Amino acid sequence: MTTVAVIPSYEPDERLLELISGLKGQRVDRVVVDDGSGERYRPIFRQATKDAVVLSYGVNQGKGHALKLGLRYVMEHYPCDTVVVTVDADGQHTVEDTVRCAAQAAGHPRAMVLGCRSFEASGVPLRSKVGNLVTRTVYRLTSGERVSDTQTGLRAFSAGLISFLVGVGGSRYEYEMNVLLACPQHNIEICEVPISTIYEPGNASSHFHTLRDSARIYARILAFVASSFASFLVDFSLFGLFVTCFAGMGSLGVFGANVLARLLSAAFNYTVNRTIVFRSKGSVAQTAGRYAMVAAGLLLGNSMALLLLTGILGVSPLLAKVFVETCSFVASWLMQNRFVFARKEQ
């Protein structure tokens, strides 16, 4: 079985050539993508052409764009049972770890194999520790999957998954996070292989811009939160209005206010999530039916909880509403991501 490494590279140094040489020694084919590094780095890429296919373009387009270009090349020139492994060119990934991840992928053709570092190791920059902690926590909440290193660029998979991977949105660092978010929706298993944790002092070789690229990485996750929060505001505002209108009906009025507010805010939430957040291609009838099932379950649970809190425990209706909605936030998003708008394999 053939193994091919796709190596996106922007402004590389001699470590790129060392990586290529090491992979050649392991009989791994090499495809290097020059992500618009410029004339200054032309000599390195000229040397790389001796032992690798080098794909180049003039203007920097981002890591995601470079990866997709390399993957398209593999799809056009290699059979679908080829094992593909993406490797960073900055020395963070060893040849030995690359080969181990490729071997794992060879035995799991429907999986995305991640080479995962230990963030407890000495020498890991603080920003990397904090960034990975936040990202993996939010990823688990939104996808339901547990991944220890969401930022790793060492990933191995069957070439049969390339058509799926090139269709995932994103052209820069956010692309790799988008892939992880899309895998559960396409029933693609995520496997982890422990690898060496290698960082330069200060992470000097990284081209990751903390604020700009973090914003891209979190864009889809933030869209989840923004949609939910906007729907909560609609729900909360309508609930307050209806509670005032039904003030003379006691706990029954609270129950009715919650039902009406939820129905209207659910219609708003469904529309935003389907068209903007998930960009679902499923039929309205199918996704709306699933959404209605989830919304009905949440409505029943929320309403019963509100009756308990306001009618028995004497909690203020508005405070009770905040508490109940906070508790159901994670459950709502998991159900929408994994069931309502999930993209199943054809």
Entry pTM = 0.66
Structural domain contains residue 44? yes
One domain, residues 66 and 8: yes
Indicate if 173 and 121 belong to the same structural domain.
Answer: yes
Asked if 194 and 245 sit in the same domain, the reply is no
> pLDDT tens, 61-85?
999 999 999 999 999 999 999 999 9
Tell me which amino acid residue 25 is.
Answer: G
Please compute the mean of the pLDDT values over residues 278-299 and round it to a whole number: 84
Looking at residue 104, its pLDDT comes to: 96
Q: Are strands 29-35 and 53-57 parallel, antiparallel or unpaired?
A: parallel
**Least trusted range by pLDDT, from 16-20, 38-42, 48-52, 223-227:** 223-227
For residue 127, the model assigns a pLDDT of 66
Exposed e or buried b per residue across 202-224, where buried means at least 16 C-beta atoms within 10 angstroms of its C-beta: eeebbebeeeebbebbbebbebb
Range from 87-96, 121-130, 260-269, 322-331 carrying the lowest mean pLDDT: 121-130
More confident residue, 33 or 316: 33
Tally the domains of the chain. Answer: 2
Q: Of the candidates 208, 232, 258, which is a domain's last residue?
A: 208
Average pLDDT for the chain: 86
Lowest mean pLDDT, pick from 58-72, 174-188, 215-229: 215-229
Cα dist. 76→31, 72, 82, 239, 299 in Å?
13, 6, 12, 56, 50
Tell whether 39 and 82 lie within a shared domain: yes
What is the reported pLDDT for 130?
A: 73
185 and 255, same structural domain? Answer: no
Task: List the CATH number of the domain containing 177.
Answer: 3.90.550.10
The pLDDT assigned to 85 comes to: 98
Co-location of 9 and 123 in the same domain: yes
**pLDDT for the residue numbered 323:** 84
Print the domain residue range for 232. Answer: 221-340
Please report which confidence band the pLDDT of residue 20 belongs to, taking 50, 70 and 90 as the band edges: very high
pLDDT of residue 89: 92
The tens digit of pLDDT for each residue in 156-168 reads: 999 999 999 999 9
State mean pLDDT over 288-299. 87
The answer to whether residue 216 is domain-embedded is no
Together in a domain, 201 and 234: no
Identify the pLDDT of residue 221. Answer: 66
Determine which of 21-35, 181-195, 219-233, 304-318 has the lowest per-residue pLDDT on average: 219-233
**Residue 108 domain-assigned (yes or no):** yes
Q: Is residue 333's pLDDT more than 60?
A: yes
- Confidence at residue 136, expressed as pLDDT on a 0 to 100 scale: 78
Q: What is the mean pLDDT of residues 125-137?
A: 73
Structure-block tokens of residue 113: 């194999």
Examine residue 213 and state whether it is found in any structural domain, yes or no: no
Residues 195 and 229 in one domain: no
Q: Are 162 and 140 in a shared domain?
A: yes
- Mean pLDDT check: name the lowest of 16-20, 68-72, 94-98, 177-181: 177-181
Judge whether 61 and 36 are in contact, CB under 8 Å: yes
Residues 6+ apart with CB under 8 A from 224: 142, 277, 333, 337
Mean pLDDT of 294-315: 86
Domain match, 39 and 65 both: yes
- 293 CB neighbour count, 10 Å cutoff: 13
321 pLDDT band (50/70/90 cuts)?
A: confident
Residue at 266 is within a domain: yes
At residue 190, does pLDDT exceed 80? Answer: yes
What percentage of residues in the chain have a pLDDT greater than 70? 89
The pLDDT, as a whole number, for residue 161 is 96
Is the predicted pLDDT of residue 125 greater than 80, yes or no? no
**pLDDT value at position 172?**
84
- Distance, first Cα to last Cα, the chain: 27
Residues 198 and 278 in one domain: no
CA separation, residue 55 to residues 37, 39, 71, 209 (Å): 12, 15, 11, 24
- One domain for residues 169 and 248: no
- The pLDDT, as a whole number, for residue 214 is 57
pLDDT tops 90 at residue 345: no
